[in-house]
């Protein structure tokens, strides 16, 4: 059978749903409550298309095409329907994609991940995460006014996480002898200056395999750029030594940059910011193609909710590992289609007020490494229809929710995490 989609003829195999025929023809209609070969019932309307003859908006995941049908999958009405559906789904979504501490950090540092690694005893990995983002993490702790700690959600139910103290303790565990020089790429780079941005650029070029030299006018690295009296000398020296051992050659007291023709790459960081963590981030961006920028034009959508309510406060007070961290970021974000679509459809501030009955950060352990967070569920039902004696619907209407009775946990297969279109069911090693 042939039909017309976006003005072009496409073929439809017998019994094939419209969404699959379109995808086979290279037109990627989005979906949330539908997954190929899984049992589903259409509910989200993200796969909306327009029947050009009747003007009707149809869910393509539940439409069996008829001969001669003409469908539009990109007209303004379709985009409007999908956008509205996303906004409605997000109005019932009490969750943060990124933890507020990371959003507030001028260096975009993943504090929650550091805390996770630290509390699992993975100190080397936590240190590496810090260095790869902040380059001079402990030094920054003394000169940054720590917006991360001011905004920390734990602060609204108890004492905020002492993020800077965690970082300083981790840096104190540095094993200088374990630092490995990255494999060389055969190219040389010169970096002007030794401020936070220059050190960051040098560090990341070094990681890319360049033989890097820093040329600094002053007699010592960093001194001219930060309020050095605030940073203990041993900390400063330790962090500079780490960069040196990575292979960065530091030439101080050089009034002039060397001849650029002696290098494959010359970097002169000019930063707009005076905030040291921000300068580090800018240095990184100068020498890498950063796709996860917090300010790029395709900045990922970030779901967030305002404050904990009283019942959340009660249950969260007791939570948190030794650092007290609540791990506010979404552990299932890597596979979240809801976030990806909200980004693609440019949802900034959903038009509808948050109206969720679910508790933020309430996490149910299904089994080792598999978790369920009801506040991130869009009630698509995929987990219900595709587990036997597993997830179930509870209540009706606005109060309807998805639950997993504890005795059913054993029946849950980890593959449901891949089927779930959001971060509500996720795999994590913690």
Q: Point out which residues bind ligand SF4 (CB under 6 A).
A: 93, 95-97, 99-101, 111-112, 115, 152-154, 161, 163, 303, 325-328, 330, 332-333, 336, 338-339, 376-383, 391, 402, 420-425
Please state the closest distance from residue 62 (CB atom) to ligand FES, in A.
6
Task: Tell me: does residue 342 bind ligand FES (CB under 6 A).
Answer: no
**Binding site partner of 34, from ligand SF4, ligand FES, none, Cβ cut-off 5-8 A by kind:** ligand FES
Binding status of residue 425 toward ligand FES by CB under 6 A: no
Token duo for residue 192: 């002007």
Q: In angstroms, what is the minimal distance from the CB of 324 to ligand SF4?
A: 7
- C-alpha 35/C-alpha 61 separation (Å) is 9
CB of 4 to ligand SF4, least distance (A): 32
Beta strands in 193-231 (DSSP E): 211-216
Spatial separation of the C-alpha atoms in residues 284 and 107, rounded to whole Å? 10
Q: Does residue 133 bind ligand FES (CB under 6 A)? A: no
Residue 280 interaction partner, one of ligand FES, ligand SF4, none, beta carbon < 5-8 Å per kind: none
Smallest separation (angstroms) from ligand SF4 to the CB of 137: 15
Between residue 42 and residue 81, which ones bind ligand FES under the rule CB under 6 A? Answer: 42-47, 59, 61
CB of 28 to ligand FES, least distance (A): 12
Q: Which does 47 bind (CB under 5 to 8 A by kind): ligand SF4, ligand FES, none?
A: ligand FES
**Can you tell me the distance from the alpha carbon of 135 to that of 280, in angstroms, rounded to the nearest whole number?**
7
Q: What is the radius of gyration, based on Cα positions, of the chain?
A: 26
Placement of tokens 């040389």 in the chain: 188
Number of residues that this document lists for the chain: 430
Under a CB-based contact definition with an 8 Å cutoff, are residues 274 and 205 in contact?
no
Neighbours of 422 (CB within 10 A): 24
| Closer by beta carbon to ligand SF4, 59 or else 65 | 59
Nearer to ligand SF4 among residue 40 and residue 285 (C-beta): 40
Of 345, 285, 320, the closest CA to residue 44 belongs to 345
Note the Cα 193 to chain centre separation in Å: 32
| Residue 31 to residues 62, 74, 82, 301, 420, Cα–Cα distance (Å) | 11, 14, 10, 17, 11
- Number of residues binding to ligand FES, judged by CB under 6 A: 12
Q: Which does 42 bind (CB under 5 to 8 A by kind): ligand FES, ligand SF4, none?
A: ligand FES
- Contact mark string toward ligand FES, 11..40, x via CB under 6 A: --------------------xxxx------
Helix (H, G, I), strand (E, B) or coil at 71: strand
> Is the separation of the CB atoms in 140 and 148 below 8 Å?
no
* Shortest Cβ 419–ligand FES spacing (Å): 13
> The dihedral of CA 335, 345, 105, 159: what is its sign?
negative
301 in contact with ligand FES (CB under 6 A): no
Interaction of residue 284 with ligand FES, rule CB under 6 A: no
Binding site for ligand FES (CB under 6 A): 31-34, 42-47, 59, 61
């Amino acid at each position: 059978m042939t039909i017309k989609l976006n003005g072009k003829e496409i073929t439809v195999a017998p019994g094939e749903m419209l969404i699959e025929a379109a995808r086979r023809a290279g037109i990627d209609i989005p979906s949330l409550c539908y997954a190929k070969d899984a049992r589903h019932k259409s509910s989200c309307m993200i796969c909306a298309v327009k029947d050009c003859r009747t003007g009707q908006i149809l869910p393509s995941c539940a439409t069996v095409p008829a001969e001669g049908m003409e469908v539009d999958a990109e007209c303004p009405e379709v985009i409007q329907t999908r956008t509205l559906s996303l906004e409605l789904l997000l109005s019932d979504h009490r969750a943060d994609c990124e933890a507020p501490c990371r959003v507030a950090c001028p260096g975009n540092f993943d504090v929650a991940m550091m805390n996770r690694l630290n509390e699992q005893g993975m100190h080397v990995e936590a240190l590496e995460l810090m260095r790869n983002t902040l380059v001079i993490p402990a030094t920054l702790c003394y000169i940054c006014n720590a917006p991360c700690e001011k905004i920390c959600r734990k602060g609204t139910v108890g004492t905020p996480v002492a993020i800077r103290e965690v970082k300083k303790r981790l840096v104190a565990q540095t094993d200088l002898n374990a630092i490995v020089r990255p494999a060389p790429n055969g190219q040389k780079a010169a970096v002007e200056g030794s401020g936070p941005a220059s050190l960051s650029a040098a560090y990341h070029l070094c990681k890319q395999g360049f033989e890097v030299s820093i040329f600094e006018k002053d007699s010592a690295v960093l001194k001219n750029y930060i309020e050095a009296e605030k940073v203990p000398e041993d900390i400063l020296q330790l962090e500079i030594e780490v960069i040196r051992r990575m292979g960065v050659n530091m030439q101080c007291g050089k009034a002039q940059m060397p001849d650029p023709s002696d290098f494959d790459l010359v970097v002169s960081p000019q930063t707009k910011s005076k905030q040291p963590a921000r300068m580090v981030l800018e240095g990184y961006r100068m020498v890498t193609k950063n796709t996860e920028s917090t300010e790029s034009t395709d900045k990922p959508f970030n779901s967030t909710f305002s404050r904990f309510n009283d019942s959340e406060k009660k249950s969260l007070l007791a939570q948190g590992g030794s650092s007290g961290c609540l791990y506010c970021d979404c552990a299932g974000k890597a596979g979240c289609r809801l976030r990806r679509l909200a980004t693609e459809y440019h949802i900034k501030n959903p038009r509808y007020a948050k109206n969720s009955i679910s508790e933020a950060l309430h996490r149910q352990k299904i089994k080792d490494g598999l978790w369920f967070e009801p506040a991130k569920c869009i009630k698509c039902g995929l987990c219900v229809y595709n587990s036997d004696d597993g997830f179930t619907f509870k209540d009706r209407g606005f109060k309807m929710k998805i639950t997993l009775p504890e005795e059913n946990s054993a029946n849950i297969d980890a593959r449901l995490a891949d089927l779930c279109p959001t971060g509500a069911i996720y795999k994590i090693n913690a």
